[in-house]
Structure 1
Amino acid sequence: MHGKPHTVSEVMTHAVAAVGRNAPFKDVVTLMEQRKVSAVPVVEGDGRVIGVVSEADLLRKEEFRDSDPDRFTQLRHLDDLAKAGAATAQELMSSPAVTVHPGATLAQAARVMAHRRVKRLPVIDDEGLLKGVVSRSDLLKVFLRDDKELAEEVRHEVVDRLFPLSADHIQVEVAEGVVTLTGWIDGSGLAPVAERLARAVEGVVDVHCLLVPVSARSDLR
């Protein structure tokens, strides 16, 4: 729908690979390899998310396999050493899980991933039940929007709203996600606003704003 940010529910994966808290180490590894994912949620009961096991959690076992850390190193890496000796998902998982709700915008989900340095987020409802998973690649799907669709949204949400009297004199072209605005407008004050709003349309890669105030046309005479 025009003007509404895309949400996690629109791009997330619904068929989710998950494990129970008692899942053995090898079963977790096997599932992640089969599903080609870098992390899996850990759930209990009717699907409430209690943690996440990532590749980094699993690699602790290999990282400390041949090491004999001194007392200082042990104290600094208590959690890592505990995971190196883990045999089940509960012992491996990071808890509480970093999650997101289906109604979150893609920008909000991206910020959570960046701040918490994770590649995937379990998507949960208000009861904490698992509804899906959203990954970095899912967030990039917005850039696959068709150029024609982008042009229609820019015209409807930007041009028609900012320039209702001169909209017919403004052209909106989109090629490979790059928006070009050309035409005559009343005054120059709204040109930067138009560029900013067009750039905010999800899926837009860049904006070339070539809007010129009508007064400039008389200056050229």
Structure 2
Amino acid sequence: MLVRDAMSTLVLTIGPAHTLRQAARLMSARRVGAAVVFDPDDTGIGILTERDILNSLGRGQDPDLETAGAHTTTDVVFAGPVWTLQDAAEAMSHGGFRHLIVLDRGEPAGIVSVRDIIRCWAPSRRAAQPV
């Protein structure tokens, strides 16, 4: 199975000036654990995850003052849509992260998470129940 078969194509994109509270509200409303951070004045694409927000709160930082740009991971490992799920899982395991931005022709096409991979590899609860 390929990344394109498992990834979510609903990509939440925010700017670096969004506060962490704004980012958290948007992530919660969309029920996603990560947002792509795009800065039109910069050349890179970054990612902000629920863990980044949690770490900031744990340090006692104010989510209304802290910006997404200050907490964005910019040394991102990107996946391709034709990567295998094994390739994605190995990249996540090696890098210690739970989300990969999927780029297609240099543009964000989706996000694949550990949960997406597990959903594809593990049988669903309904299918696993005896008849």
3-state DSSP of counterpart to 1:21: coil
Q: What residue is the counterpart of 1:123 in the other structure?
A: 102
Of the candidates 16, 23, 27, which is equivalent to residue 22 of structure 2? 27
Measured in 1, the distance between the counterparts of 2:33 and 2:58 equals 17
Measured in 2, the distance between the counterparts of 1:110 and 1:60 equals 24
Measured in 2, the distance between the counterparts of 1:19 and 1:133 equals 14
Of the candidates 74, 82, 96, which is equivalent to residue 95 of structure 1? 74
Q: What residue is the counterpart of 1:14 in the other structure?
A: 9
Measured in 2, the distance between the counterparts of 1:49 and 1:7 equals 25
| 1:41–1:49 CA contact under 8 A, matched in 2 | no
Q: TM-score, normalised by structure 2?
A: 0.78
Q: What residue is the counterpart of 2:86 in the other structure?
A: 107
Larger relative contact order (Cα-Cα within 8 Å, sequence gap ≥ 6): 2
**Length, aligned pairs only:** 120
Aligned Cα root-mean-square deviation (Å): 2.3
Q: What residue is the counterpart of 1:136 in the other structure?
A: 114
The verdict on how the C-alpha distance between 1:61 and 1:137 changes in structure 2, with shifts beyond 3 A counting, is closer
**Structure 1, unaligned runs of 5 or more:** 1-5, 66-83, 146-175, 177-221
* Equivalent runs, 1:42-121 vs 2, <5 Å: 42-45=37-40, 50-65=45-60, 84=61, 87-121=66-100
Q: TM-score, normalised by structure 1?
A: 0.49
- Greater Rg, structure 1 or structure 2? 1
Cα offset, 1:49, TM superposition: 5.7
